[in-house]
Structure 1
Amino acid sequence: MTLTLRPAEAADLMAIGDLQHRSRAVAYRNIVPAEALAVETGEMMGRYWRERWAYERDTHLMTVAERDGRLVGFSYLGPHDPAEPDSAGADVGELYAIHLDPAEQGRGSGRALMVDALAKLLAQGWRRAVLWVLVDNAHARHFYARGGWQPDGAERHGSIGAALTPQIRYARALP
């Protein structure tokens, strides 16, 4: 079973939304209330990616992972917003997302997407990279720590549905 990475295409976006919905439902099931996770469907998330892709595709990169031709994950990266409170700086790129099909966990796909994302962040000319992760998502925090990411002290709150989601920022130098 072969894993391949390729740039996302517009035709992938609805499937990406569905995959993200399934990924979050499993990854956040003990962190975010079920009713908050149920607010956004896979179709809604696909429409979100269509809209976001329309205005960010020139400045952001999305990569899909396929195993034997089936979408099993994706990553999304781009510039870090230097206007963000507690900004990490203008020479910083941001890894916005890595999501995997729940059945793909532990098969190396997440690691392949991270290695690919780090190379792309570096190729864009950024010297550092940041990402945000839910404070209570121990699995993701461990995954990022194994990849050389470390908390940098910045915190924020996001939301999923009506649930507030405390987040911590991780950072790392780009090789």
Structure 2
Amino acid sequence: MTVSLRPATKDDLMAVGALHQRSRVAAYSSFLPAEALAEPTPEAMGGYWVQRWAWEHDDHRMTVAERDGRLVGFSYLGPDDQGDPATGLLNAIHLEPDEQGRGTGRALMIDALAAMRSRGWAHAVLWVLRENGPARRFYERGGWSPTGEQRDEHIGTALAPQLRYSREV
């Protein structure tokens, strides 16, 4: 009944996409409209990850979490999106909705920070949706702090303001 982590393979990506879509709907439905979360479909999200992995697998790392042989979460990291060579970007941690509060997200975060250290990065950054209070509290408990930087992204047709967080690795 314990969670195990392993490097993702291309065979995981369609399942990662479906999990990613379920995670987004569960996490964002309290502050984003349903129509914004209806797309992409789980299959389209899987296709997105297949395509993204094809371009980024050399300098990015995806880790999947499994419980009893079932994919229950993933993390994705790579170089800083602002070009700082001493900084890694935690692009994502997503969990199955029923996996929340079981320590899986924390295990994925600890693993991601260790991977960043092993790549020689001294700092880590991430972007989190401003309205996603549970995620912000999760990262703050993990030692992350807001930098004051903000950006606006779209999820479907909805504007989704994001905050940048950082911490030492």
Name the TM tier (shorter chain).
over 0.9
User: In the alignment, which residue of structure 1 is the partner of 2:154?
Assistant: 159
Following TM superposition, by how much is the alpha carbon of 1:82 offset from its aligned partner in structure 2, in angstroms? 2.8
- Tell me the amino acid that sits aligned with residue 101 of structure 1: E
Name 1:147's counterpart in structure 2: 142
5+ residue gaps, structure 1 = 84-88
Whether contact under 8 Å (1:19, 1:101) holds in the other structure is: yes
CA deviations 1:91-140 (Å, max 9, x no partner) are 11000000000010011000000000000011111110000000010000
What is the RMSD of the two structures over their aligned residues, measured on CA atoms? 0.8
SS at match of 2:101: coil
> Where do residues 1-175 of structure 1 align in structure 2 (5 Å cutoff)?
1-82=1-82, 89-174=84-169
Aligned-pair distance for 1:31?
A: 1.5
1:86 match: none
What is the number of equivalent residue pairs in this alignment?
169
- Asked if structure 2 preserves the Cα contact closer than 8 Å seen for 1:77 and 1:93, the reply is yes
> CA separation in 1, counterparts of 2:78 and 2:119?
9
Asked whether the equivalents of residues 23 and 99 of structure 1 are also in contact (C-alpha less than 8 Å), the reply is yes
Which amino acid is 2:13 matched to? L
Counterparts of 1:18 and 1:12 in 2: how far apart (Å)?
A: 10
Q: Distance in 1 between matches of 2:34 and 2:106?
A: 28
Which AA in structure 1 matches 2:57?
Answer: R
Q: Moved runs in structure 1, 4+ residues, more than 3 A?
A: none
Matched residue type, 2:142: G
C-alpha separation in 2, matches of 1:30 and 1:154: 24
Please state how far the C-alpha of 1:36 moved relative to its aligned partner. Answer: 0.5
Report the Cα distance in structure 2 between the residues aligned to 1:13 and 1:128, rounded to whole angstroms: 27
TM-score normalised per structure 1: 0.95
| Identity of matched residues, % | 62
Q: Deviations over 1:38-68 (max 9, x none)?
A: 0211101000000000010000000000001
CA distance in 1, matches of 2:24, 2:38: 10
**By how many angstroms is 1:153 displaced?**
0.8
TM-score by length of 2: 0.98
